[in-house]
Chain A
Amino acid sequence: MTTTEQRAKATSQPLIRVEGIHRTFGEIPVLRGVDLDVTEGEVAVVIGPSGSGKTTLIRMINALETIDSGRITVDGTIIQDATNGRHRMNAKAVRLARLELGMVFQRFNLFPHLTALENVMMPPVRVRKVPKDEARERALRLLTRMGLADRVNNRPHELSGGQQQRVAIARALAMEPKAMLFDEATSALDPELVGEVLKVMRDLAESGMTMIIVTHEMRFAAQVADRIIVMDQGRILEQGTPEVIFNKPSHARTEEFLRAVISPAEA
């Protein structure tokens, strides 16, 4: 596969294209035929019960997880292809795609040996070869935007979960990605710290960032999503605007799931 082939790219193409993905872990089918296009500037929120395959799907987009069949294209570059039985993953294409995709993890995964500032500075310097002064300036700007101007010299273990996750978001943004992937970014947080992270994510969505968000925060989903994608048992059950999904879902299972997760106070 050559780069020219991979870069056969039309202007109207979605930024992220997921086609016919299947994946089995051992005997258990986790994804059973998923198609998903995300266009530039779109905020796509993936919801669904535990074990529906949301996390696996989002991790496949930046090749942290491999696929059994199907194809994943990011910004016109095929990064994983298993359309004809053989799985192919081009290391160079994967790296290119990862440069365009910022990822935020449930467990933050900050580098514990570095300060908040160094966490945000180091990847651009080491990976994108950004000059140190410029990277420091950018990191300080981002950390300030995250409300962490006074914590830049703290190590991760000196920060609360909410602060750590905001540093992690700044770290991903410092690479200047075209899209951001959020894998249950608030699930590991104490309830009172969820809000501060959601606020940062909401601001980011409003700034026009392309985002794929896996979350259990339904109210937040309704507020920020251009499109809600409901997953169940390894498939996309249905998708649509928040109004449609939350008010008149077309599947009984969606209704069931929403009833189970939305408390009366939230609705």
Chain B
Amino acid sequence: MTLDLTKEWLPRLLEGMKYTVAITIGAFILALLLGLVIAVMRLDRRRWYLYVPATIYVEVLRGTPLILQLFFAYFALPAMGIQLSPLTAAILGLGANTSAYLSEIFRGAIRTVDQGQWEASAALAMDWPTMMRSVILPQAMRIALPPTGNYAVSLFKDSALASTVSVAELLFTGQVIGSETFRYMEIYALIGLLYLAVSYPTSLLLRRLETHLELSRPRSRKKPSVPAPVEAEKEPVS
């Protein structure tokens, strides 16, 4: 067992892990970009020509199974003349799915930015893109970072679904080894450990980052009622 494990299984599994990581990173980058665009499109209901299509996008992706979306990308798109490699289909499916969830996080974070920030930027004659880029998004990003990190970890685990569209990632590789050796117990336990070896440290890292951000966040985020806060007397906090 030890011999098999180190000599034969592990190199193959690590090869699979490469695909797992590639899918995660590719899908996550796609999700970040799409998520941001969708979030911005959904900010203002009055701009219905942006709001409506973006909302349909989010609801369809959140309301249907992820595995169906993957099958659609890999098996159904060829019928429309779009032939994707397994890896591309997996990145596209997982990325689109995650973008729907991330867009909601981003939209919430943008809305959390104090009304006074929008007004101050407007009063300084900023146009909308400048306001977004220089004032709103830098603040929203901080708010969105912890939940976004959690989605990155989820995405890493969900990438196992790419095995269903025959990407030779970690789980797929394990299944192949299993079917060759019939030692499913050991192989699946090993795969589980490999997933955990990546996701657990990442989660810990994120939690630390979250605490760090919480501390350095300006205190005056909450809107006080009219007689304003007595923050002036307190010693400056760095």
Residues of A bordering B, CB below 8 Å: 62, 64, 95-96, 98-99, 101-103, 105-113, 122-123, 126-127, 154-162, 171-172, 175, 187-190, 193
Contacts and interface: CB of A to CB of B under 8 A. Distances in A.
A64 B232 contact: no
Interface in B188-231: 218-221, 228-231
B120 interface: yes
Nearest to A50: B226
A150 B192 CA distance: 55
Interface of B: 114, 116-117, 119-120, 122-127, 130, 134-135, 138-139, 142, 218-221, 228-233, 236-238
A103 B118 CA distance: 13
Given A122-B134, A126-B134, A95 B127 contact: yes
B237 A158 contact: yes
Contact of A105 (B120, B125, B233): B120
Contacts of B236: 154, 158-160
B232 A193 contact: yes
A98 B134 contact: no
Contacts of A189: 228, 232
A64 B122 contact: yes
B220 A190 contact: no
A123 B120 CA distance: 10
A193 B219 CA distance: 19
Contacts of B232: 160-162, 189-190, 193
B113 to A, nearest CB: 10
Given A112-B139, A112-B218, A156-B220, A95 B125 contact: yes
18 contacts: A103-B120, A103-B123, A105-B119, A105-B123, A109-B114, A110-B120, A111-B134, A113-B142, A126-B130, A154-B236, A156-B218, A160-B231, A162-B232, A172-B124, A175-B125, A189-B232, A190-B230, A190-B232
B237 A127 contact: no
A98 B119 CA distance: 11
Contact of A126 (B122, B126, B233, B237): B126
B126 A161 contact: no
A94 to B, nearest CB: 8
